[in-house]
Amino acid sequence: MLEGKAVIEETDMLQAMQHDALDLDAKALDFLDVTESTDIACFIKKEFDRTHGPGWQCIVGTDFGSFVTHCSGCFIYFSVGSLAVLLFRGSAAP
């Protein structure tokens, strides 16, 4: 289990969706006792697909870079301790 409070680094999500993302991360870490980054990402992605519609992508880890295209209002990047979470709904460029 990671200690610490989630810190939102960047987002364009509505507050309710941000809250969902942080709650799902906490649930994976605390209640499910999931410790593998891939398992955390899978859990968050599947729950967001279920509750907010398909097309979500989730990357979890301690050291990664990214450059993504996302739907407006569907991006959040936050950290909990040393663990970073990037969650977004992909978008194709016109």
Tens-digit pLDDT profile for residues 45-91: 999 999 999 999 999 999 999 999 999 999 999 999 999 999 999 88
Residue of 91 and 44 predicted with greater confidence: 44
- Give the mean pLDDT of the chain: 90
Give the pLDDT confidence score for residue 94 in this predicted structure: 58
Q: Give me the domains of the chain, ranges plus CATH numbers.
A: 6-90 (3.30.740.10)
Whole-number Å distance between alpha carbons of 45 and 88: 9
Nearest to 2 by CA among 45, 62, 48, 47: 62
Does the pLDDT value for residue 7 go beyond 90? yes
Does the pLDDT value for residue 41 go beyond 80? yes
Count of residues in the chain:
94
Give the pLDDT confidence score for residue 1 in this predicted structure: 45
Q: What's phi and psi for 85, nearest 5 deg?
A: -130, 125
Q: What is the gyration radius of the CA atoms in the chain, in angstroms?
A: 12
Give the H or E element holding residue 71.
strand 70-80
